[in-house]
């Protein structure tokens, strides 16, 4: 009698273990299917699709960046754009737009219930200050350093967009004149 009860108990425990594995597997599959895309992925991505249900993705418009040297001999150049513009997908709002130069965050603009964001060039003044570089320092004869920039945007739907580019600055050599000191 004891062996029958022990056999029945082992059978019930085995059945419970199998059912719990099945339930955990099904629950994990449903969570993976409904998980939202990350708000800040490691690398920028774009969702692609040709179907009717494919999402509209944020759009960034940034004309080519320019690098100018307002004062010769100072070693300071300024990277600027005429404007920066981003629009969100249908029924979404712009959360933020950032500007990074050589992987350093230089500007962060945030939105509040707006479907697009326009940043005029005047808003950043002369631009973002960088070192011009000596002639040939960026690999081009007669020119200064080359800077890489990234413009990123996020929206409430969880989608992101990014524009990448580079800009070459004019060369500038800083000359420092030290006064002559007479010794007694």
Residues 152, 65, single domain; the answer is: yes
Q: Give the Cα separation of 74 and 54 in Å (integer).
A: 51
135 falls within a domain: yes
Determine the pLDDT at residue 81.
95
What's this model's pTM, rounded to 2 decimal places?
A: 0.64
Residues 138, 99, single domain; the answer is: yes
Determine the pLDDT at residue 66.
94
Determine the pLDDT at residue 24.
60
Of 101, 77, 95, the C-alpha closest to 166 is 101
Residues 159, 83, single domain; the answer is: yes
The model's pLDDT over 76-98, given as tens digits with 9 standing for 90+, comes to 999 999 999 998 888 889 999 99
Mean pLDDT, the chain, whole residue set: 79
Could you tell me which residues are beta bridge partners of residue 59? 87
- The tally of domains found in the chain comes to 2
78 falls within a domain: yes
* Domain interval for residue 166: 59-170
Stronger pLDDT, 25 or 103, i.e. the higher one? 103
Q: What is the CATH number of the domain that holds 118?
A: 2.60.40.10
Determine the pLDDT at residue 54.
43
Residues 8, 92, single domain; the answer is: no
Euclidean distance between the first and the last CA atom of the chain, given in angstroms as a whole number: 117
Q: What is the mean pLDDT of residues 115-119?
A: 91
Residues 66, 156, single domain; the answer is: yes
Residues 164, 114, single domain; the answer is: yes
The model's pLDDT over 31-61, given as tens digits with 9 standing for 90+, comes to 444 444 444 434 333 433 344 444 455 678 8
71 falls within a domain: yes
Question: What b/e string do you get for 41-70 counting C-beta neighbours within 10 Å, with b at 16 or more?
Answer: eeeeeeeeeeeeeebebbebebeebbbebe
106 falls within a domain: yes
Tokens of 29: 């599959």
Residues 24, 63, single domain; the answer is: no
12 falls within a domain: yes
Residues 20, 84, single domain; the answer is: no
For 18-23, the CB contacts below 8 A with 24+ separation are: none
Residues 63, 132, single domain; the answer is: yes
Q: Give the Cα separation of 18 and 46 in Å (integer).
A: 40
Residues 77, 158, single domain; the answer is: yes
The model's pLDDT over 143-179, given as tens digits with 9 standing for 90+, comes to 999 999 999 999 998 888 899 999 999 999 887 777 7
Determine the pLDDT at residue 176.
79
121 falls within a domain: yes
Determine the pLDDT at residue 99.
95
41 falls within a domain: no
Determine the pLDDT at residue 158.
84
Residues 80, 156, single domain; the answer is: yes
Collapsed DSSP state (helix, strand, coil) of residue 174: coil
Residues 5, 75, single domain; the answer is: no
181 falls within a domain: no
Determine the pLDDT at residue 111.
85
């Amino acid at each position: 009698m004891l062996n029958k009860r022990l056999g029945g108990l082992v059978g019930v425990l085995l059945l419970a273990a199998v059912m719990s594995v099945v339930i955990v597997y099904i629950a994990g599959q449903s969570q993976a299917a409904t998980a939202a895309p990350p708000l800040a992925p490691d690398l920028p991505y774009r969702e692609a699709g040709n179907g009717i249900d494919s999402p509209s993705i944020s759009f960034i418009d940034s004309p080519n960046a320019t690098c100018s040297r307002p004062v010769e001999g100072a070693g300071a150049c300024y990277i600027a754009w005429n404007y920066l513009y981003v629009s969100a997908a249908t029924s979404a709002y712009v959360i933020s737009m950032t500007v990074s130069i050589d992987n350093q965050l230089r500007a962060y603009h945030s939105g509040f219930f707006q479907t697009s964001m326009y940043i005029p060039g005047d808003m950043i003044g002369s631009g973002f200050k960088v070192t011009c570089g000596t002639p040939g320092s960026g690999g081009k004869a007669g020119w200064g350093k080359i800077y890489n920039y990234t413009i990123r945007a996020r929206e409430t739907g969880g989608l992101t967009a990014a524009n990448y580019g580079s800009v070459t600055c004019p060369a500038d050599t800083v000359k420092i004149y030290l006064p002559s000191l007479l010794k007694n």
